[in-house]
Structure formats: structure tokens, C-alpha cells
Amino acid sequence: MSPQEKIKVGIIGFGKRGILHASLVNINPEAEWKAACNPDEQSLTLMKNFYPNISFFSDKNEMLEKVNLNTIFICSPDNTHLPLVNQLIKKDMNIFVENPLAESFASSKQMVNLALDRKNIFSLGYYSPFKVLFQQAKILFENGILNEVKRYRASLHYTLPQSSHSYERIIMNRTSSFLYLIYWLFGPVKSLYAKASGRLTAVESVDSLVLDHSSGLMGLADLSWNRPGYPRPTVKISLEGTGGTLDISEDSLKLYLYKKRGGYDMGWTTIHRADLPSPSKFYLCEEGYYEGNSSFLKSCTGKKKSTVSWEDGLEIMRMIEAADLSIDSNREVLLNEVK
Amino acid sequence: MEKIDRIILGSNSFEGVGYLSRAQTRHYLEFFSKRENIIPIIEASFNLGIKSFMCSNNSNILSALEDFKNSSDLSILAVIPNAYEYARESTEKGVLGTILSRAKEIDLYRKVRMGLRALRKIQGIITKDLLTLLTNLMDFEMASFHPYNVTGVILHGQVTDLALSSDNREIFDVYQDIVRERYKVQPILATHNFGTLLPKLMEWKINMPILASFNKKGFIMKPSQKECEQLLEKTDYYIIAKKVLAGGRLNPEEAFPYLSDKNIGSFVLGVGSLSEAYHTLSIAKSTFLNL
């Protein structure tokens, strides 16, 4: 594909995320949304009303056969990712998969192996690297603003509308996003210990994790899906260092320094989202989606490595697998035990 | 164009929407879950002369309006659809499933008030044309506002921006036709992407008031603060500013001077407490109404 040529995009799975990606592709001058498929005929009829110029199919094979595409966004259920990738990779497609990479570590590993040595672009829907506050937090942490950091405490709280097993997919999605944020900020995890009332991504579960990073940093994380007052998934990370503390959330960073350091005064500094310039040109639903989507498309035109790789996604699935192993065996699990 | 008041009371805080911190959001959710905490703020605003209220059909807000003695004297700018509730529900049921289950949930009283057999109609929408589909969905959303003096209907920003990204002029045409002809009020478009929406509307020769973020910090002014300001300066479209306090990051004294000389027709102001209502709205009156 020449750099001048538009990326021809198809969407598999046309629920909320499918609609979101289609819309973001549509406003990107480098790409052209051509087709979508979804097994539910009713919703296709509805969508044809809204997008009269797009080809909709209930069968993905028909879409792939009839429409000239070179890039696919997979937004269908997690357990469909591997079989789809198996098929798409033979057709020389660039592939973006909504998170998690697959429904299990084993499937994720197969996907990464399938993509090995391919020249196409393979990316994954984790959006933390595209949120300005998280970017700023990473810069502060990596520049040693807190001097020596020994530990962090992280939490993810969410109030599910009602307890139901149909939420397991959203819990898996949120858990893996949360773990990705930790992985992206603080680097790989060497070992972990998990305690939970069920499996890590069970609806009724209240989970606690102790994470040992390869860097020597230690973290405590807790996840709860039924805590009142959190209609939106809410992430908070508190870092404690010898030079001060840093509280990270999606709305603000709160820095407390024992001494003036790195251009910040001693005492409290609060940085809100509104205080930081946002590079995003378009805002849809939440900060980060446009940037994540356009970063992938840019990688496709330049054939350069995407910001979020499938290897990253595999590491997150390894953490989830290790957590479940730890819950079952009630012991600390080394990540390299999960193979 | 229907006249729109210079200052409008917003309702984000009553719906538990805040941008400053999740702690603030939790406080709003808890505090404004009681209608007796919403009513004094609407009343204070009303007594200060702010008689326009922008809100969605959130149940706490509707309940407060029912009990507010001057609600019939309020000019309601109805925001449809209630995107936060749809987004939340569609996590489990999917977009279409949510629409259908919403239709099933409405009681007979509401159906009568709506003047339609909502369930049958909404179940039928998926096979109909865009006009029928949008008409029925909008009827369903508007039913909650039936007792009040609705003077404008605002298409929620997320929906406007989805329609904008689909580059489908027909959605905007149909929307304004329905609002003008069926409800006989002013259609308004909310957006987070003023700099993309306005040129597109101009290209399509569609003129409606636009509700968009304008603040000193450039918070959610897309594609950039500079581009939004340049477009604002030259446009003859009626602009309503929202997020004027940059999601709570600015106080009124810092925020309002930036806005006062801009080509902005109206300002939506959200407040989270009674004292904030008196403070913010009094300064707004002196800045924007010279009172």
C-alpha cells in the first residue's frame, strides 16, 4: 500500500465499540470506512438507515469476499478473536483488536505467534497511553520526581447496574485495561499474588493483588465491581516515594513533594485534565479513543510499529492467567510460570 | 429563530456528571439523588432571574421539577437522548436492545401522555425509514417533558458527534424538521467538536444554534482552542457556550472575562450547591447581562 493510498477499513462486530471505531475512521482523512458485519440482522437494518453509503453484512466471509479491504477492526466477542485472526492474517490484513487480546492466554499466544514475522500492523484497544494525564504521570514517574519509589496502591471501582453474568465481558475488558495501565506505567511484572472470592474477572468478585515488578517496585491493587457511587469505572493509583507522593486519576494528578524538585514546588501541586493541552483533534465519548484509533491508522500508512502491540496484550493475559493460578493455588506465582 | 435566554442553568451536577474529580462526581450522585437538594438550586436560580433550564429526562431532575412550584414558568431546553443512561444500559443489552427495553418499561400513564402506543411503534422502527425511526425515538424521549414549557430541544453531544462523523446530512435535516414541525420549538445541536461541526453545517446550509465548549483553558475545544475561537469570531450562527468554567477548574471571576467579549449568545452554567448558585449566577448576571 502506498502512503498516498487510503486505508480501506472493515469492522467486524458492530456494537458500541464497532460504532465508535467506524465513526473515528470516518473522520480520518487517511482512511475510508467501507464495510461492517454483525450477525444480528435487526441491528444491521437499523445501521443501514444511519450509514447509507456503507456495505453491511451479516456474514463476515461475504464482507471479505465482496469488499476490497486492507484493514480490519475486530470488535466482536473475545472468543472470536483467534479464529478471525487466523482467517484475516492469510488475507494480508492490518488488524486492530478491541481489548482483551483474546478470551484466554492460550488463544492470545496463538495470535501473537500467527502475527510473528508479518509486515502488517497489529494493534490492540488499550487507550491509557493516549490520555494526557496518564502521559504526564508517566513522565513524572520516569523522571524520578518522587526520587525512589518503593510501592504504589491502585484501585479500580465500578458499580455494575445490576449483578449479572452477562457483564463478564465488560469486566474482562475493564480488568485488562486496568492491568495494562499498571504495566504501561511501571513496566513488566515479575510475580504476583492474588486473593479473590472467585476468578479474577468474575462478576461477584472483590479482588486483591500484590504485584512485584521487574524493576523492584511493589504494588497493591484492588478491584471491585459492585461498589455504589461509581457509575463510570474509576481508577486511582497512589505512588509513595522518598521524595513525596503522587495520586493519579483520570481527572487529576496530585503531587506532594517534601522538597522543591523537577520544577515543582514543595508541598501540593494539582494538575487537572483541563490544565494540560490535549493533542486530540476530535472528541468522541472519551479522551483517548480518537488518538488510539488514529495512531493505529497512522501506523498502517507508515508501516511502523503501533503504540500498543499484541505482545503487550499477551503480557496482560499472562497477568490475568497468573492471578487465576494464584487464586487457585493460594501462592505467589511467577509470571514466567505461565507459558 | 426562537429567542434563547442569555443565561441558562445547566444540570450536569444533578445527573452526577463532574469533571474535577471522581470524588466530586460521587458527591453529586449522592447529594442530588434527593430531589430536595435539587429544588433549592433551581429555585435560587429562578429567583435570580434565570428562567431557562437545560436538562435531560433524568428521573431525579424530573422529580424535582414536579415539586418545584414555578416549574411551569421555566423555559426547558430538553437534552435528548439521555445518553449517559443509554450508554450504561447498552453495556449489557446492546444499542438496539436498550431502545427496545426502554420502550417496554414505560407505563400506561406515560404512553397515554406520549399520545402514542410507544411499544408497538418502537418495535416497528427498525424496518422503517430514518424519519420514522428518529421521530419515534424522539417522541419517546420527549414524553417525559410533556408537562413543561419546552422551548428548545438539544441533541446530545455524543449523538451529534456520531452523526457528524457519519457525514450524513439527512440525520441533521430530519432532526431539525422533527423539532420544528412536530414540537414547534427550536432545535439545537450540542457538540464537543465545534471546529468540525460548524464548517460542515455551513457546507450543508443547515443553520441551528450550536451548544459547544468555550473556556479560557481550551478544555474540550476541538480541534483546537485557536481554531474554535477563529470560527466563533466570524460566524453568524447562534452559539451557546458550555463548560465555561473548564469543568470546574476555573472560578467565575477567572472564567467570565474571557467569554464576555466573544460572539456568544448564551451561556450554560452548572452549579453544585446553593452557595455556588448564588455566587456563579450573580457574577454571570453582572458580566453577561450588565446587571
In contact, B156 and B191? CB cutoff 8 Å = no
3-state secondary structure B247-260: CCCCCHHHHHHHHH
Measure the CA–CA gap between A61 and B4, rounded to whole angstroms.
Answer: 52
Give the CATH architecture of domain A129-275+316-337: 2-Layer Sandwich (3.30)
pLDDT digits (tens, 9 = 90+) for B82-98: 766 666 665 555 555 56
CB contact A169 to B (< 8 Å): no
Cis bond before residue A161 (omega within 30° of 0): no
CB contact under 8 A, A277 and B218: yes
Averaged pLDDT for residues B126-153: 79
The answer to whether the CB atoms of B158 and A19 lie below 8 A apart is no
* Least CB–CB distance from B168: residue in A42, A50, A284: A50
**Strand A244-249 and strand A252-257: pairing?**
antiparallel
d(CA A223, CA A240): 20
CATH level 3 topology of B7-82+151-288: TIM Barrel (3.20.20)
CA–CA dist A248, A256 (Å, integer)? 12
CA pseudo-torsion sign B186, B187, B191, B197: negative
Using CB atoms and an 8 Å cut-off, which of residues 161-180 of chain B contact chain A?
161-168, 170-171
- Phi/psi-derived region of residue B290, left when phi > 0, alpha when psi is between -120 and 50, beta in every other case: left
Q: Is the reported ipTM for this assembly greater than 0.90?
A: no
* pLDDT in the model for residue A233: 85
| One-letter identity of residue A333 | V
8 A C-beta contact, residue B262 and residue B213? no
Asked if A45 and B127 come within 8 Å (Cβ–Cβ), the reply is yes
When pLDDT is averaged across residues A264-291 and rounded to a whole number, the result is: 92
Tell me the domain boundaries of chain A.
Answer: 7-127+288-309, 129-275+316-337
Using a CB-CB cut-off of 8 Å, the residues of chain A touching B136 are none
User: Residue ranges per domain, chain B?
Assistant: 7-82+151-288
Q: What is the pLDDT of residues B212-238, one digit of tens each?
A: 999 999 999 999 999 999 999 999 999
**Does the beta-carbon distance from A272 to B87 stay under 8 Å?**
no
| Torsion sign over Cα B92, B96, B100, B102 | positive
Q: In chain A, which among 177-236 make CB contacts under 8 A with chain B?
A: 229-232, 234, 236
Amino acid A4: pLDDT: 67
The larger pLDDT score, comparing residue B15 to residue A122, is at A122
> What is the C-alpha to C-alpha distance for residues A81 and A172, in angstroms, rounded to an integer?
14
Picking from A66-80, B5-19, B66-80, B86-100, which range would have the lowest pLDDT averaged per residue? B86-100
Q: Is A275 on the interface with B (CB under 8 A)?
A: yes
Amino acid letter for position B127: T
Question: Which of B30, B91, B247 lies nearest to residue A170, judging by beta carbons?
Answer: B91
Is some CB atom of chain A closer than 8 A to the CB atom of B221?
no
Q: Is the dihedral of CA A80, A86, A91, A94 positive or negative?
A: positive
Residue to substitute from B95, B165, B172, B219, interface A, most A β-carbons within 10 A: B165
In one letter, which amino acid is A99? N
Contacts of B182 by beta carbon, 8 Å cutoff, 6+ apart = B135, B138, B139
DSSP string, A45-76: HHHHHH-TTSEEES-HHHHHHHS--SEEEE-S
Nearest of A92, A287, A306, A307 to residue B192 by alpha carbon? A287
- Among B166, B191, B197, B200, the residue to mutate for chain A (most A Cβ within 10 A): B166
Statement: the pTM of the whole predicted model exceeds 0.80:
yes
pLDDT for residue B107 is more than 50 = no
* A231 vs A171: which has the higher pLDDT: A171
Of A51, A167, A278, the CB nearest to B168: A51
Mean pLDDT of A323-339: 94
For residues B245 and A285, what is the distance between their CA atoms, to the nearest angstrom?
20
- For chain B, positions 231-290, list CB contacts with chain A under 8 A: 246-247, 249-250
CATH number of A7-127+288-309: 3.40.50.720
Whether residue A237 is predicted with pLDDT greater than 50 in this model: the reply is: yes
Mutate to test the interface with B, among A156, A273, A290, A294 (most CBs of B within 10 A): A273
Q: How many pairs of residues across A and B have Cβ atoms under 8 Å apart? A: 122
Mean pLDDT of chain A: 91
Q: B41 vs B114, which has greater pLDDT?
A: B41
The length of chain B is 291
- Residue A117 contacts by C-beta under 8 Å, 6 or more apart in sequence? none
pLDDT tens per residue, range A85-116: 999 999 999 999 999 999 999 999 999 999 99
Which residues in chain B have Cβ-Cβ distances shorter than 8 Å to A283?
161, 192-193, 220, 222
pLDDT digits (tens, 9 = 90+) for B29-42: 889 999 999 999 99
Residue A287 has pLDDT above 90, yes or no: no
Q: Which of B12-26, B36-50, B69-83 has the lowest mean pLDDT?
A: B12-26
